[in-house]
Amino acid sequence: EKNGYDHFMLKEIFEQPQTIFDSLRGRMDAHKNQITLSGIDAIADKIMAARRIIIVACGTSWHSALVAEYVIEELCRINVEVEYASEFRYRNPIISSEDVIIAISQSGETADTLVALENAKEQGATIYGLVNVVGSSIARISNAGSYTHAGPEIGVASTKAYTAQLAVLQLIALKIAKLKGTIDDQKFTYFIQQLDAVPEKVQWILDNQVEEIQRIAKKYSDANDVLYLGRGYNFPTALEGALKLKEISYIHAEGYPAAEMKHGPIALVDETLPVIFVATKDSYHEKIVSNIQEIKARKGKIIAIVSEGDNRVEELADDIMVVPSCDEIIAPLLAAIPLQLLAYYIGVERGLDVDQPRNLAKSVTVE
């Protein structure tokens, strides 16, 4: 069932043009210029009246929540808070019927997320579930929701479920922005077109970057530590890249907002430290270029994810992974792909069981 791929993880990475298409299909009409999400319609009055949206998740799903925080606040002008389910459930949070909680979970069975939702529901909050596994516990406890439609994810490390979450979260943000009137028609159309182009852009990465990423993976496969840095919409991408590497290669990795490095992690930098910058063209670009220069001045090895045609970062970096240009809001969907591939090929290079990393389970049903 691996369809000729060596591992489920690789198969699932390569499925992403299709799974992203599937999570958008039937919900987004680029011609009619509309988004259909019956789950959002079902709780539209609650969303319109919401004081804030709280997103609750764990692990990789928590990273897609962070991206959503940036996107929803930008497009919908609603206050969004992102919570680790395990912390949220134990710290007696202030919740009321004016709160909408979005729960994100691939499995729909993560114990901490489930209990956090039960508590919030008891206190009157409205629960929206964004879940991959149909009929799972989190799907059932939710007042409304959407499925991600990524299909079964077998590899323990989440890949296609993550990008499906990102795709549907973009739709949710656009749909709410339209309801609230915080986006004009022209921008709405523009974002729909941007989303519509994502599957083919992901395919471009898979068709054009794999050999280079394999080469980079070989070059850095015996690193002891790797630092991942990003800003803005791609700050969560840095966290997710670091988590993938830890899980699959057992290399210590940390993700940070790029500007935070001078508050500590920069002390780690020497000629042996690979530093991965998520440096796609966005409104933070000048800032991240300065961060790259700061690492270079301290002789760190620079690996950068860059937008096609960005010669400036290419000149500064030791190695680059290229992604097609897109709007900055969409960029996390593309930038995730090279980082998944890098973690995968480093794990393979180190001879590890990438589908079943030690100590990990696909679904964490105990706290």
What x-and-dash track marks residues 249-288 binding ligand F6R by CB under 6 A?
----------------------------------------
Q: Are 284 and 341 in contact (CB under 8 A)?
A: no
Q: Which of 59, 93, 230, 347 binds ligand F6R (CB under 6 A)?
A: 59
Q: Which of 37, 58, 168, 333 binds ligand F6R (CB under 6 A)?
A: 58
Residue 86 binding ligand F6R, by CB under 6 A: no
In the sheet with 225-230, reading across from the earlier edge strand, the strands are 252-257, 225-230, 274-278, 301-307, 319-323
Q: Which of 44, 179, 289, 364 binds ligand F6R (CB under 6 A)?
A: 364
Q: Which of 19, 23, 158, 280 binds ligand F6R (CB under 6 A)?
A: 158
187 is catalytic: no
Considering the complex, state which of residue 243 and residue 261 has its C-beta at the smaller distance from ligand F6R: 243
- Select the residue whose beta carbon is closest to ligand F6R and give its number: 59
Catalytic residue among 121, 219, 287, 362: 362
- The rounded distance, in Å, linking the Cα atoms of 293 and 308 is 20
Residues 6+ apart with CB under 8 A from 239: 63, 66, 228, 255
Q: How far is the CB of 296 from ligand F6R (least distance, A)?
A: 31
Helices and strands: H and E segment counts in the chain: 16, 12
Q: Is 90 helix (H, G, I), strand (E, B) or coil?
A: coil
In the sheet with 80-84, reading across from the earlier edge strand, the strands are 80-84, 52-57, 99-105, 126-131, 144-147
Q: How far is the CB of 36 from ligand F6R (least distance, A)?
A: 25
Q: Which of 26, 38, 18 is nearest to 163 (CA)?
A: 18
Residue 157 binding ligand F6R, by CB under 6 A: yes
Q: Are strands 34-35 and 28-29 parallel, antiparallel or unpaired?
A: antiparallel
Q: Which of 196, 227, 56, 37 is nearest to 125 (CA)?
A: 56
Count CB-CB contacts under 10 A for residue 304: 24
Q: How far is the CB of 313 from ligand F6R (least distance, A)?
A: 27
- The rounded distance, in Å, linking the Cα atoms of 170 and 236 is 15
Residue 354 binding ligand F6R, by CB under 6 A: no
Which of 103-111, 115-123, 182-190, 324-332 is the region at the interface with ligand F6R (rule: CB under 6 A)? 103-111
Q: Which of 106, 170, 249, 291 binds ligand F6R (CB under 6 A)?
A: 106
Residue 237 binding ligand F6R, by CB under 6 A: no
Residue 60 binding ligand F6R, by CB under 6 A: yes
Which residue numbers are catalytic? Answer: 362
Query: Which residues of the shown chain bind ligand F6R in the complex (CB under 6 A)?
Result: 58-61, 105-107, 110, 113, 157-158, 243, 247, 363-364
